[in-house]
Amino acid sequence: MFTRHCSSATCQTYIFHFIKEAKTWSDAQNYCKQNYTNLATINNMEDMKQLNKSFRRDSAAAADAWIGLEKKRNAGCIETKDTREWHWYILLGTEYVVNEKNWNSGERNDAPCPENCVVMRMDGKWPCSANWSAICYDDRVILIRENKTWADALDYCREHHDDLVSISDHHMQKWAQERVKMADTPYVWLGMRYTCTLGLWFWVSGQTACYLNWAPGKGMGDCEMSAAMDKKGKWVELSDTMTLNFFCVKN
């Protein structure tokens, strides 16, 4: 009952799914959490254009569909258009304040107040309204909150998903960087290891290690060392016998 779309800028990180069945915003969010990751988030106008292009093509999609944008309720509805903030709700309750928006003409008016949820329309604008179909997204980068050595984490990812994550660009880095904040350990394993034989770092997925985000003074390399991400998103080298949370990636 859905089709898939992956935006060109973020194809490594998530896939959109159109859900035809009409639901309230809360029911749609619960459905997306149970079956995928959450209601769709649109990180920038490039995402908006790509999603809208696919949305127009998809004959199964309804004319309007919920996305994961909501305004927190404020008692008394006293905030002004200049002060109120809209938030994306992503994973495990994480919130992102909206920067780029594509409101329909006359919308974001909170009349009647408060209008708390947002739909995407076939014309690409975002009015606030009532009950619609939904757009979910499925996260390809998965934080596994279990403590394992690097080798055991690699085995787990390959058995249950696809591989330990390879971070190939700043889009993937940003996606992982937000999720690392939810880890139970101060570092999270990545799918990068150092080879003493060749004297270089490599991704176990086979991708070339072009994009790098080492912390200052890190990444020099040593035998039996693997890469991990700290809570600020920087990469460090650690002994691969340490037990940490880890990132898997799924196709």
Q: Mapped to the 3 state alphabet, what secondary structure does 13-69 carry?
A: CEEEEEEEEEECHHHHHHHHHHHCCEECCCCCHHHHHHHHHHHHHCCCCCCEEEEEE
Query: Which amino acid appears at position 29 of this protein?
Result: Q
By the 10 Å C-beta count (0-12 exposed, 13-18 middle, 19+ buried), 59 is classed as exposed
Residue ranges of the alpha helices (H) in 72-221?
150-160, 170-180
CATH number of 141-249: 3.10.100.10
Handedness of CA 91, 94, 96, 101 (dihedral sign): positive
**pLDDT of the residue at 41:** 74
Same fold, 4-139 and 141-249: yes
What pLDDT was estimated at residue 92?
36
Distance between CA 231 and CA 68 in Å, rounded?
A: 25
Cα gap 231→234, rounded to integer Å: 7
4-139 has CATH 3.40.50.80 classification? no
Q: What is the pLDDT of residue 27?
A: 85
Structural domain boundaries in the chain: 4-139, 141-249
What pLDDT is stored for residue 163 in this prediction?
95
- Identify the pLDDT of residue 145: 95
* Residue whose structure tokens are 């034989």: 197
Query: Using one digit for the tens of pLDDT, what is the confidence trace for 57-94?
Result: 664 545 567 676 655 444 444 344 444 444 444 443 33
Q: What does the pLDDT read at residue 130? A: 55
For the chain, which residues score pLDDT lower than 70?
A: 1-14, 42-64, 66, 68-131
